[in-house]
Amino acid sequence: ASIVASHHKPEFVVNVKETGKILVVNYADINALKTTEIGAARFLHDGGWDATKRYFLVAANQSNKIAVVDTKEGKLAALVDVGRIPHPGRGANFMHPKFGPVWSTGHLGDESVSLIGTAPGDKKYGKYAWKVVQVLKGQGGGSLFIKTHPKSKNLWVDTPLNPDPKISQSVAVFNIDDLGAGYASLPIAEWAGLGEGAKRVVQPEFNQAGDEVWFSVWSA
């Protein structure tokens, strides 16, 4: 389902979807690959790094869990219960005003946005590690991607697979400094001016400076 390269060792982390297994493949000797199998949960899909690039968090979407892999130690750090059918894309890292470093995911099956603490061992924030510290209420289910940027105070959540056209054609944006205030809904598809027909807004991506966010607008 997804493959990433470790930032600590000559290794690939391979998520084998239907099996619920994670393979850590050491390629230091390309003629004698060493593979470590880590049990997680079904069915593994997309995921992303925490802010330190040590931990890889991947959705086990039919188990409603996030599997956390410690790529430095080569083992499973945690299985975190989240909402229904998590789909993070790469997820989104930011500094929460109360809980410190968090990684976030939206869901296909409900409107929740789960924020997971990611600072094990930290004197102030370590107690929140690998726990859902806050659940935000988004526009609805059908989310595929969530995004922020180190220079932005906005958290963007798409919902392209929601059956309600008003929701699938817009995006939710949260203020990271005031998450409890809820989201603003922006009608991106309307602003795109594509005329009549079905439209879906998907995958927010920032420019390098962090002062623009771009969306794909699917139309039919």
Kindly state the tokens that stand for 170: 């817009």
Chain position carrying tokens 């996030």:
66
140 inside domain: no
189 inside domain: yes
Kindly list the averaged pLDDT for each block of 10 residues, start to end, along the chain of length 220: 94 94 97 97 95 98 97 97 98 98 98 99 98 98 98 98 96 98 97 89 97 93
35, with CB counted inside 10 A (0-12, 13-18, 19+), is exposed
Nearest to 152 by CA among 117, 191, 86, 204: 204
Structurally, the chain folds into a number of domains equal to 1
Chain position carrying tokens 């939206």:
106
- Report the pLDDT value the prediction gives residue 182, as an integer from 0 to 100: 98
Domain containing 188: what range?
Answer: 145-220
191 inside domain: yes
- Report the pLDDT value the prediction gives residue 198, as an integer from 0 to 100: 86
86 inside domain: no
Note the pTM of the prediction, 2 decimals.
0.95
- Report the pLDDT value the prediction gives residue 1, as an integer from 0 to 100: 78
